[in-house]
Structure 1
Amino acid sequence: MATLSVELKTPITGPYQQPIGLFINGEWVKSVDGKKLEVVNPSTEEVLVSVYEGTEKDIDLAVAAARVAFNTTWKTTTPEQRAILLLKLVELAEKNKELLAAVESLDNGKSINNARGDVAAVIGCLRYYAGWADKIEGKTIDIDPGMHHYTRLEPHYVGPMC
């Protein structure tokens, strides 16, 4: 089996292992069709890396895995545990914020300061939603006596939160 990461270097943080697969069902995998696409640094037009290209088949696999996770593990995870898990993700992002910003800068051709701002925004977004994980109760709030209001609990989106 081919490796699903390559060593890349950033001017800020030096070498690191860059995954090139698709993250589905908790692991890095090749795309179903095995096609790759080139990631180009827009400021230099240099090819940084070739990564596996996700297609409709890969999306179907990812959505199916997300549904299984939601209907089993995630559905039975308490709101407090969900908050703790999201805060662990915040801690990981904070620990690796310079690397994340350096990779973002290379990938988008933006300044390192702008990339640092993007990473800070992601960390803030994750922290915000971690704070809500144990506070959303699904209560109905009466906002107009002439209208009927109700709350229907259902997942909103399978994918990145921010």
Structure 2
Amino acid sequence: MNIEYMHAKGLPYKLDYHYYTLQAPKSENIPLTLETKIKSEVSKVGETNRMTVIVKNKINGELPMATTKIGIPAGLTLQNALLKDLVDKKHISYYEIFDNYLVLYWEHFDANETKIVNLDLKVEFAGEYTGKASNVYLYYMPEAKFWNEGIKTKIEP
């Protein structure tokens, strides 16, 4: 099948694309660092697996509102009651969940402060999974992010 445009010299078009990479970009000159680790790379369906998120202010000065996007591997699910408890106990200021990311917000960081968040993830589906790369950044500077690679997990039936 052919389509011919008799009076057109060109065909206008628009191209949109989205992608993600399993390799995190390099992070430079960013005042925050992020580390994510999972207790066990191999788990069984029905168990709980703990993910630890460590965010550090690496400068000797206060920082304003910060955001971190944590890639949650498929096969693992967050527990909403735990997240609400983190807000109630003021370990985090706010959270959102979308596109296999858990997004955490903090209103401020003190000089050289380290924040640690433990997430108990329910192991739901067998398979091998790699979460999206995670990042942390100052809320008003989303162009400057500290990245780390996505968490890998193997879930057995």
Q: Give the alignment's TM-score, normalised by structure 1.
A: 0.20
Higher relative contact order (CA 8 A, sep 6+): 2
Structure with greater proportional strand content: 2
Structure with greater proportional helix content: 1
